Structure 1
Amino acid sequence: MHESSIAADLPKPKLYAELARELQSLIAGEPDDIANFANASALLFNSLPDLNWAGFYLLKRGELVVGPFQGKPACVRIAMGKGVCGTSAARRATILVTNVHDFPGHIACDSASNSEIVVPMIAGDELLGVLDLDSPTLARFDEEDQAGLEEFVATLLRQIRPA
């Protein structure tokens, strides 16, 4: 069993650097994408403070389908361009939402969620899906979280879709 020793009270840049290193050690040499997504979601959920959901939606036949995650049961399918996840996937850009109740078309899988960040997973020209983090706290995520999570996704993609 692997147990994370990352201190959540580190400054965010150091915290995310540690998370990327920890992720690399968890997924090194593992060829199964689902296993890697599962460990990545567990690592984030158990290392970052103030989350109520952390996981992946994977692109399958033109829509996002829930993949490995930590948190309450989630919406199973999200159409491209719908909600925060579908919008991030369609735009192929990270979306940081300080108050999900102000996001047009927000899909409330968990009514306790108040802020969200979604990072698309793009390998070459291929959109694989998105990483989605939710928090019960308004404005939980900022630009430092965005930079750290984008690097986290890049670390994951280097393992599952090596160049």
Structure 2
Amino acid sequence: MSPTLPASDFSATSKPAFYKTLVAQVEAVLDLSLPLTANLANISSVLFYALTDAPVSRKINWCGFYLTEDATAAKPRMVLGPFQGRVACTIIPFGKGVCGTAATKRETQVVKDVHEFPGHIACDSASESEVVVPIVVGDVVKGVLDIDCLVKEGFDEEDRVGMEAVVQKLLVLWQ
């Protein structure tokens, strides 16, 4: 069954208005009767196309999820989940790269220039900036939402707030 999305107006003149519409789109495609991967696949598509389609055209080249394999392991790591974009790194240890740092610190990472981020993992050499939001349920990091951009300074504080709102809507998938 194809989800029915609410009318979308991604021509919003402000980022907060854009993200309000985006969060509504994300909420509309969530289907708790489906497996996690099906939901995350649709969410990555909604995000990718909302961020790349005109009039927004944010120069996004990758959008997806890395999911924690075993949070209680001595050396926890994340594995590639549903995404939109080029072939990606399949395993990222906690503490490594932008994704691993977000998971370890449990804090959103907004990186204006990935080439200046110590230990950046370059899955796509065209990426210039990145935002990574950890997905935390209780005390457990379930994974991260990772979005890469083809331009430096592709993300700012408003994007952080907007993407964190998206992730808040996704937490229901792990309950």
TM-score w.r.t. the length of structure 2 is: 0.87
Match 2:33 to one of 26, 30, 35: 30
| Contact 1:7-1:47 at 8 Å conserved across structures | no
Deviations 1:71-112 (A, max 9, x none): 000000011100000000000100000000000000000000
Q: For residues 112-151 of structure 1, what are the structure 2 equivalents within 5 Å?
A: 112-151=126-165
Q: Distance in 2 between matches of 1:161 and 1:78?
A: 21
| Contact 1:6-1:47 at 8 Å conserved across structures | no
Match of 1:53 in 2: 62
Match of 1:16 in 2: 19
Q: Distance in 1 between matches of 2:9 and 2:153?
A: 21
Match of 1:83 in 2: 97
Q: Distance in 2 between matches of 1:97 and 1:3?
A: 34
- Percent of pairs with identical residues: 45
Q: Which has the higher contact order (CA 8 A, sep 6+)?
A: 1
CA RMSD in angstroms comes to 1.5
Establish whether residue 161 from structure 1 lines up as the match of residue 174 from structure 2.
yes
Q: Distance in 2 between matches of 1:146 and 1:155?
A: 15
Match of 1:67 in 2: 81
Structure 1 stretches of 5 or more lacking a match?
none
Aligned length: 161
Q: Distance in 2 between matches of 1:46 and 1:3?
A: 16
Runs of 4+ with >6 A deviation:
none
Structure 2 stretches of 5 or more lacking a match?
52-57, 71-75
Structure having the higher Rg: 2
| Contact 2:4-2:28 at 8 Å conserved across structures | no
Q: Distance in 1 between matches of 2:10 and 2:89?
A: 28
